[in-house]
């Protein structure tokens, strides 16, 4: 009941900053794609959204040829996840298209679900035109999700640099999804939601405190985080994940 009421309240415009704080990973990923990638991908470009899932970004590239790929094998036990319209139902390391077929590839929060993510990077290199752009996000550390299709906890800047260079990419830019306090805000939210959903007597006793904490702490912690921190900043040693841009040679 409390969670249902909370979800309705979150739709109000006045809670925009709160929505951003408690859903920071998705919010920053969306911003990366809808602002950074969108500003760099020219109208008329041919784009592949690899591991597209719900096809979240299609409407933002209406002036491009936007195609999608996914293996479409995940079954959500809660029935909340729904695949969008997928053009290529395939393994992400073997996409049935010709070499140099795309001007840009988008791949968000997918690498952790691939047994050999390095082969996905190689496949992106194969299907991109010279000068084509790659936009990738993935966690640095995450809980197990979309089980059993979850193989890695996350990827470091060194991993991206190593395999992107090996696969013929240059102009590699890697930015953290904010720093320690943003990560702490996301984990605080998870802890409070766990308590609110639990049926244990001790957790029910703590529910009012969890409701207060989730209403206050995420925004407070989010504001403590530095905006646009660099990887060398000690505060980004703990981060939700990374946003990566690279260019095919």
Instruction: Say what the pLDDT of residue 214 is.
Output: 84
Question: Alpha carbon of 63 to those of 58, 101, 154, 186: distances in Å?
Answer: 10, 18, 33, 34
Burial class (CB in 10 A: 0-12, 13-18, 19+), 199: exposed
Q: 23-27, 61-65, 108-112, 241-245 — which is least confidently predicted? A: 23-27
The pair of structure tokens assigned to 219 is 């925004």
Instruction: Say what the pLDDT of residue 2 is.
Output: 52
Distance CA 71, CA 106 (A): 15
Percent of the chain with pLDDT over 70: 87
DSSP code per residue over 57-120? TGGGGTTSEEEEEE------TTS-------SEES-TTS-SS-SS-EEEEEEES-GGG-S-HHHH
For residue 21, pLDDT over 80 is answered with no
Average pLDDT value for residue range 83-108: 98
The pair of structure tokens assigned to 154 is 């996350």
Model confidence pLDDT, tens digit, residues 1-19: 555 555 555 555 556 666 7
Average pLDDT value for residue range 145-152: 94
Instruction: Say what the pLDDT of residue 131 is.
Output: 98
Cα-flanking dihedrals φ and ψ of residue 83, to 5°?
A: -70, 145
Distance CA 80, CA 134 (A): 29
Model confidence pLDDT, tens digit, residues 231-243: 556 556 789 999 9
Q: Which residues contact residue 242 at a Cβ distance below 8 angstroms, ignoring those fewer than 6 apart? A: 137, 138, 140, 155, 157, 160, 174, 175, 176, 177
- Three-state DSSP at 239 gives coil
Model confidence pLDDT, tens digit, residues 153-174: 999 999 999 999 999 999 999 9
Say if strands 46-50 and 88-89 run parallel, antiparallel, or are unpaired.
unpaired
Say if strands 46-50 and 102-108 run parallel, antiparallel, or are unpaired.
parallel
Instruction: Say what the pLDDT of residue 124 is.
Output: 98
For residue 97, pLDDT over 70 is answered with yes
Q: Which domains does the chain have, with CATH numbers?
A: 25-179+229-248 (3.40.50.150)
Average pLDDT score over the chain: 89
The pair of structure tokens assigned to 3 is 């969670």
């Amino acid at each position: 009941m409390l969670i249902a009421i909370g979800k309705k309240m979150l739709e109000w415009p006045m809670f925009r900053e709160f929505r951003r704080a408690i859903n920071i990973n998705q919010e920053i990923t969306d911003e990366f794609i809808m602002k950074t990638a969108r500003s760099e991908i020219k109208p008329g470009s041919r784009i592949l959204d690899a591991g597209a899932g719900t096809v979240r970004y299609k409407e933002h590239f209406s002036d491009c040829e936007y195609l999608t790929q996914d293996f479409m094998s995940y079954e959500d036990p809660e029935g909340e996840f729904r695949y969008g319209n997928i053009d290529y139902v395939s393994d992400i390391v073997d996409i049935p298209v010709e070499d140099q077929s795309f001007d840009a590839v988008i791949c968000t929060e997918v690498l952790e679900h691939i047994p050999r993510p390095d082969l996905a990077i190689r496949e992106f290199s194969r299907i991109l035109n010279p000068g084509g752009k790659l936009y990738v996000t993935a966690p640095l550390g995450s809980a197990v999700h979309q089980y059993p299709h979850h193989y890695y906890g996350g990827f470091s800047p060194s991993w991206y640099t190593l395999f992107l260079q090996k696969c013929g990419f240059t102009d590699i830019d890697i930015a953290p999804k904010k720093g320690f306090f943003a990560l702490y805000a996301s984990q605080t939210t998870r802890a409070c939601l766990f308590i609110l959903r639990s049926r244990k007597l001790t957790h029910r006793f703590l529910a009012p405190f969890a409701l207060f904490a989730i209403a206050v702490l995420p925004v407070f912690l989010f504001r403590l985080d530095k905006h646009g921190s660099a990887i060398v900043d000690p505060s980004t040693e703990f981060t939700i994940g990374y946003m990566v841009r690279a260019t095919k040679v």
